[in-house]
């Protein structure tokens, strides 16, 4: 069925964003949105922290040390966020768009894979292990929460960051899981370029469920 969806609102944050504040903002947006509220895409970085998802087990936090730990409501286990990791939060009305969570996950993974291909990096999915992998190492983690037909949270892509904190956890609940980043394959990568490329992929690959969405962009 042909449907016209409200314009997508893209927000790009240039400063590090506190996780708890961002999480509260996502929850508030989702709780107060109406049937006509435009979907939003937030692109940002967080200060160093570990997050435990709904299925997160404390034993997967091996040695967090001084890095803060935050219990959140996304799906999945434990992961690390930090500067140089590009986080894309999608605040979408799935019911209005007529898309299920499994298709959304597949579209998110596909968007990241297409982005990596632009930089000559071949990647893949894994069955029953959401995310994107390069040569057996995880380069992007994915976690979502659906409430009353609307989702929030999203995907975290390792661009050019300190990967050492991942050794303090079992990433995504998998002992010994290797982690990688785009800079390992493209040393001269520019974070801003990757951010724009991922924004474009998410808009064209994921958010155009029926008709292409017009996007308005806001810089912070």
- Which residue carries 């969806």 as its tokens? 5
Token duo for residue 219? 């810089």
Those residues whose C-beta lies under 8 Å from the C-beta of residue 41, and which sit 6 or more positions away, are 8, 9, 10, 11, 88, 89, 90, 91, 199, 202, 203, 207, 215
Instruction: Say if residue 142 carries a ligand binding annotation.
Output: yes
The single residue of 150, 151, 172, 186 carrying the catalytic annotation is: 172
Instruction: Say if residue 25 carries a ligand binding annotation.
Output: no
Instruction: Say if residue 143 carries a ligand binding annotation.
Output: yes
Instruction: Say if residue 121 carries a ligand binding annotation.
Output: no
Catalytic residue status for 172: yes
Instruction: Say if residue 147 carries a ligand binding annotation.
Output: no
Instruction: Say if residue 19 carries a ligand binding annotation.
Output: no
Helix, strand or coil for residue 146? Answer: strand
Token duo for residue 130? 């959401």
Instruction: Say if residue 173 carries a ligand binding annotation.
Output: no
Those residues whose C-beta lies under 8 Å from the C-beta of residue 61, and which sit 6 or more positions away, are 50, 52, 69, 78, 168, 169
Give the residue ranges of the annotated binding site: 74-81, 141-143, 154-156
Question: Catalytic positions, please?
Answer: 172
Give the residue ranges of the annotated binding site for substrate: 74-81, 141-143, 154-156
């Amino acid at each position: 069925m042909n449907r016209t969806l409200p314009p997508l609102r893209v927000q790009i944050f240039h400063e590090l964003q506190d996780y708890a504040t961002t999480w509260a903002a996502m929850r508030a947006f989702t709780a107060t949105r109406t049937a006509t509220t435009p979907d939003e895409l937030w692109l940002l970085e967080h200060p160093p922290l570990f997050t435990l998802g709904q299925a997160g087990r404390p034993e997967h936090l091996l040695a967090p040390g001084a890095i803060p730990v935050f219990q959140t409501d996304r799906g999945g286990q434990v992961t690390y966020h930090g500067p140089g990791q590009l986080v894309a939060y999608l605040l979408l009305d799935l019911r209005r768009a007529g898309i299920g969570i499994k298709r959304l996950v597949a579209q998110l993974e596909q968007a990241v894979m297409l982005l990596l291909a632009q930089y000559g990096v071949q990647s893949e999915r894994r069955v029953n292990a959401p995310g994107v992998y390069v040569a057996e190492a995880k380069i992007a983690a994915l976690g979502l929460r659906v409430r009353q037909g609307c989702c929030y949270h999203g995907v975290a892509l390792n661009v050019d960051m300190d990967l050492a904190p991942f050794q303090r956890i079992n990433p995504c609940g998998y002992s010994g899981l290797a982690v990688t980043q785009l800079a390992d394959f493209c040393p001269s990568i520019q974070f801003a370029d990757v951010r724009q490329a991922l924004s474009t992929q998410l808009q064209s690959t994921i958010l155009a469920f029926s008709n292409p969405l017009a996007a308005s962009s806001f810089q912070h």
